[in-house]
Structure 1
Amino acid sequence: MTIQQFGPTDEEHPREKQRGPVVLRRSRRDEATTTDQRLLDSRGPADWVHTDPWRVLRIQAEFVEGFGALAEVPRAVTVFGSARTGRDHPEYELGARIGGALAKAGYAAITGGGPGVMEAVNKGCSEAGGLSIGLGIELPFEQGLNPWVDLGVNFRYFFARKTMFVKYSQAFICLPGGYGTLDELFEALTLVQTKKVTKFPVVLFGRSYWGGLYEWVRDTVYAEGKIGEKDVALLHLTDDVDDAIRVVEEAYQAWVEVH
């Protein structure tokens, strides 16, 4: 299956690296470390006592910039999935369908702003007339926001970015993905379980990919008493786009009734 490529070519949209709100292209992309790495992986002398307090100002700025950029975003759903998914892969087309369905249902689509499934969701949402949002992150390898992002914010710190994903979303939809997707999935489940957020469905899209994980949660984690019956129900497993949108809409309407 071949998916037609839309948007700018490599010449029009050169490879880039994000350093917070700063875009680095061409020879400026060679910086070896990231801001998160310099914060968390420091093994230097005690001069960190004098430098870390100043990092708080940069962290504060990330929250201020994120809140300011996203404050007027309408109801939205965050969709996660692999950055490694090619444009000719069926999951890319599926991501575009989900992005389009969210737009038609009146939701903005939020992704990590990168390539693969994220690009597909942004593309589908944008083409359907919805608001396509990308929340990027500084990484040691080149990535940059994909060309289908209408509103983009770049972050240095994962924890600031994660706050934006949850604060401005009514639901998570997880397509097949790797460690990043798993991280966001279980963080969302923890926040819902501990009632830090309410009426927040988590949809696992793709039974063949997520079925084993779902069964392990149900048949091992729950069966051994590590979580409760209601915790298992926080996950919704499906292969149907309409079903995923229904779960999102029902949760949103329940949230509206409470608020």
Structure 2
Amino acid sequence: MSDDGVSAPGHGYRKGPVLLRGEQIPKTTSDQRLLSGAGSADWVHGDPWRVMRIQSEFVEGFGALAEVGPAVSVFGSARVPVDHADYALGMEVARLLVESGYAVITGGGPGIMEAANRGALEAGGLSVGLGIELPFEQGMNRYVELGVNFRYFFARKTMFVKYSEGFVVMPGGFGTFDELFEAMTLVQTHKVISFPIVLVGRDYWQGLLDWVGTTVLDRGMISAADLELLQVVDTAEEAVKIVLERGAELRAAEEAAASANARAEQAAQDSGR
């Protein structure tokens, strides 16, 4: 995904179902207004209505994505130009994912997000974009087939996690880091199943991995097992291979658990006769 702070003039600013351009674009976002603690007690009256709006985002997101099927999220910078090697790599990752039976989900913006949506669309797969309200014009890229716009980051992040069987993380900035570390935290704390998290571009990510594997580990801030949550590769083929292998493992585990539950239920029924 990442929304790393570039604009795409003319695409417009999405505020829920409303499209705004030019001087109509507000100076603050819904997230800013929700999280602001300043001002009078008017929030007592306004926040309950925000709760309804937040609820509607979850309902709309769940409804739009419920039938997407197996999917993988591709994250990366919005700042990457079309002629950059990372753009071509993003297209290739998406193409291979589609050929392996996955839909591709991105943040719907430009750069690597556009590359992944384009690669998925041109390969004949489902190209999904989860947009976000930002204080600058960005808009949904033209290669998104199924797009959902969100006001709130936390609602949008839930959709990435709920409907993805893995994350492929391309080079990116703060937005990409945010999604990467959130995914790692959710897997580490067993809030989600241990889906694959693959970093693409060893030259870009190795410095981060070296720091995590030395300074952070040596201070006891993580365990050695936590380092296994991340795998770093250099090619699209390697990235997709890891996703496929882990996906097969997870499906086998789910089938085994379902069979075990069925046997237990049958045994309980037999014993009650």
Give the TM interval when normalised to the shorter protein: over 0.9
3-state DSSP of counterpart to 2:94: helix
Q: Could you say what the CA RMSD is over the residues aligned between the two structures, in angstroms?
A: 1.4
Is it true that 1:134 corresponds to 2:121 in the alignment? Answer: no
Aligned equivalents of 1:22 and 1:170: distance in 2? 31
Q: Is residue 36 of structure 2 the alignment partner of residue 36 of structure 1?
A: no
Q: Which of 101, 109, 117 is the matching residue for 1:114? A: 109
Q: Deviations over 1:59-79 (max 9, x none)?
A: 000000000000001111101
| Structure 2 equivalent of residue 4 of structure 1 | none
1:70 to 48, 52, 65: 65
Unaligned runs of 5+ in 1: 1-9
- How do 1:206-225 and structure 2 match up within 5 A? 206-225=201-220
Q: Could you tell me how far 1:25 is from its partner in structure 2?
A: 3.6
Q: Which residue of 1 aligns with 2:170?
A: 175
- TM-score, normalised via structure 2 length: 0.87
Q: Which residue of 1 aligns with 2:141?
A: 146
Shift of 1:20: 2.2
Give the match's secondary structure for 1:213: helix
Kindly state the Cα deviation for residue 198 of structure 1 after the two structures are TM-superposed.
1.1
If the length of structure 1 is used for normalisation, what is the TM-score? 0.92
C-alpha separation in 2, matches of 1:22 and 1:76: 28
Give, in whole Å, the separation in 2 of the partners of 1:26 and 1:15. Answer: 10
Q: Which one-letter code corresponds to 2:85 in the other structure?
A: P
Q: Does the Cα contact within 8 Å between 1:21 and 1:155 map onto a contact in 2?
A: no
Identity level (%): 60
1:5 is matched with which residue? none
Alignment partners' CA distance in 1, 2:113 and 2:37: 31
The counterpart of 1:21, out of the listed 17, 22, 25, is 17
**2:250 paired residue among 242, 248, 255:** 255
Q: Which structure would you say has the larger Rg?
A: 2
State which drifts further: 214-223 or 183-192.
214-223
Corresponding residue for residue 231 of structure 1: 226
Does the residue aligned with 1:233 lie in a helix, a strand or coil? helix
Instruction: Choose which of 100, 103, 112 in structure 2 pairs with 1:105.
Output: 100
For the residues of structure 2 that align with 1:17 and 1:216, how far apart are their CA atoms? 38
Query: 1:185 is aligned with what amino acid?
Result: L
Amino acid at match of 2:216: V
Q: CA deviation at 1:24?
A: 2.1
State the Cα distance separating 1:221 from its structure 2 match: 1.3
Q: What is the Cα deviation at residue 226 of structure 1?
A: 1.2
